[in-house]
């Protein structure tokens, strides 16, 4: 059985867009989340491990929400879930928050740090590094009807559209798998999180990419 770790933020956790104004976030059911769709598409020869967290960044500590840095938690996840055949990583959306003040290129630099950690680890088979599939996160919407959210993500739509060229160049430099999600899915009603239909679309697209990197019969 091949082990696939999906490392991401709230769109990997499965945050329901309409719950953005609720007292507590609601989560898409397991079989609706793109990770659940991925598991179904890949079949019984694969084990899909979900590691999504609301607000997770690439390398930044959020002063308003503790324990959100991907860099801080990644080594423990690689260690606890070994042996891994593949890590699917989709991070960068939360780096666009105004509190961090970083550019799309600097967000990609954070992704590079995480990619280097994965590809230099001993978390794969026979203490070798696992393979990496890098996903560029979806574009951010305007969320004009949610002024508090818009204030947290100023100019985020334009900035998020610049991410694919940086992520693609990064994947090319590492020789790892790459999928740009932006032509495939759009955010739901809150401008950030994916609705159920987008999760299905994304899960199926990731399954195709995973199979190209890890053929089921190999």
Give the mean model confidence (pLDDT) for residues 65-89: 98
Helix (H, G, I), strand (E, B) or coil at 51: strand
Q: How confident is the model at residue 143 (pLDDT cuts 50, 70, 90)?
A: confident
**Whole-number mean pLDDT of the chain?**
96
Two tokens, residue 11? 């769109």
80 has a pLDDT exceeding 60:
yes
Asked if the peptide bond before residue 83 counts as cis, ω within 30 degrees of 0, the response is yes
pLDDT of residue 215: 83
What is the residue extent of each domain of the chain? Answer: 2-213
Q: What is the DSSP letter of 201?
A: H
Give the mean model confidence (pLDDT) for residues 109-135: 98
Contact present, 117 and 74 (Cβ < 8 Å):
yes
CA distances from 175 to 169, 172, 216 (A): 10, 5, 21
Percentage of the chain lying above the pLDDT 90 cut? 93
pLDDT of residue 106: 98
Give the mean model confidence (pLDDT) for residues 99-122: 98
CA dihedral 43, 164, 82, 61 (to 10 degrees): -130
Query: pLDDT of 47-63, one tens digit each?
Result: 999 999 999 999 999 99
pLDDT of residue 145: 83
Two tokens, residue 174? 């590492």
What SS3 string covers 103-159? CHHHHHHHHHHHHHHHHCCCCCHHHCCCEEEEEECCCCCCCCCCHHHHHHCCCHHHH
pLDDT of residue 217: 66
46-52 β-sheet, strand order: 46-52, 2-8, 86-90, 131-136, 177-180
pLDDT of residue 142: 84
- CATH architecture classification, 2-213: 3-Layer(aba) Sandwich (3.40)
């Amino acid at each position: 059985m091949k082990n696939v770790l999906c490392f991401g933020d709230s769109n990997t956790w499965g945050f329901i867009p309409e719950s953005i104004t609720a007292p507590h976030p609601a989560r898409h059911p397991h079989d609706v989340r793109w990770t659940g769709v991925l598991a179904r598409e890949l079949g019984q020869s694969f084990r899909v491990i979900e590691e999504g967290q609301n607000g997770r960044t690439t390398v930044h500590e959020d002063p308003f929400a503790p324990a959100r840095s991907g860099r801080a938690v990644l080594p423990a996840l690689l260690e606890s879930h070994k042996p891994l055949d593949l890590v699917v990583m989709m991070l960068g959306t939360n780096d666009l928050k105004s509190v961090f003040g970083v550019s799309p290129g600097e967000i990609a630099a954070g992704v590079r740090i995480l990619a280097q950690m994965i590809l230099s680890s001993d978390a794969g088979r026979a203490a070798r590094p696992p393979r990496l599939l890098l996903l560029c996160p979806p574009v951010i919407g305007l969320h004009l009807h949610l002024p508090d959210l818009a204030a947290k993500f100023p100019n985020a739509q334009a900035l998020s559209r610049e991410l694919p060229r940086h992520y693609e160049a990064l994947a090319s430099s590492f020789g790892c798998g790459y999928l740009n999600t932006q032509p495939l899915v759009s955010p739901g009603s809150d401008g950030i999180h994916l609705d159920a239909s987008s999760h299905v679309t994304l899960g199926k697209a990731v399954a195709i990419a995973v199979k190209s990197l890890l053929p089921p019969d190999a």
